Amino acid sequence: MGVEQPKTLGSGFVTTSLDKLVNWSRASSMWPLTFGLACCAIEMMATGAARFDLDRMGILFRASPRQADVIIIAGTVTKKMVPVIKTVYEQMPEPRYVIAMGACASSGGIFDTYSTVQGVDEFLPVDVYIPGCPPRPEGLLYGLMKLQDKIRAERNTFGAAIGVGDVVHNKA
């Protein structure tokens, strides 16, 4: 985090930039919304369970969009599901992030048909795409770590939250 103990102030003081503090707290407690739509959800559950243990990274699944920071679209998105996902996404407090998990959520996958959305990026701003059919838990973990990198690279996150300027997205 770049915490320093400046000599002039003596011990008992630490200094850091507000960006780093805010980004550290956001990246260390990404609470995803449980949004399993197909077989990817099974891998997502496995990632959350004891063997891979998402809790150790501060990632706790929430059942309510109002308590969530990240929505993991885990599975095939049908056109009938789109208004539901949109509603749930809009209920999430900002800043909010989207992970497209698996081939279906990223591109429609094998379901190149009339009823399937050809990738959730048609209607949601996706931050991380995770390939695989379904991705193994390692893949999801890597995707979540990529999102953490992305959050850590953001600048002026606190300023944007209080209405001063916009978030600057630096390359992670």
Q: Are 36 and 71 in contact (CB under 8 A)?
A: no
Angle between the N-to-C axes of helices 137-152 and 18-28, in degrees from 0 to 180, rounded to the nearest 10: 160
Residue pair 74/102 in contact (Cβ under 8 Å)? The answer is yes
Provide the binding-site residues for other proteins, judged by CB under 8 A.
Answer: 79-80, 112-115
* Nearer of residues 83 and 131 to other proteins, judged by Cβ: 83
Minimum CB distance to other proteins, residue 50 (Å): 38
Outline where 8-61 has alpha helix (H): 18-28, 40-48
Nearest distance from C-beta of residue 82 to other proteins, angstroms: 9
State which residue, 66 or 79, has the beta carbon closest to other proteins.
Answer: 79
Closer residue to other proteins, CB minimum distance, 17 or 113: 113
Q: Pick between residue 78 and residue 156 the one whose CB is nearest to other proteins.
A: 78
Q: Cβ of residue 112: shortest distance to other proteins, in angstroms?
A: 6
**Least CB distance from residue 122 to other proteins, whole Å?**
13
SS3 150: helix
Tell me the C-alpha distance between 165 and 63, whole Å: 32
The answer for residues whose C-beta is within 8 angstroms of residue 89's C-beta and 6 or more apart is: 65, 71, 96, 98, 124
CB of 81 to other proteins, least distance (A): 10
User: Which C-beta is closer to other proteins: that of 12 or that of 114?
Assistant: 114
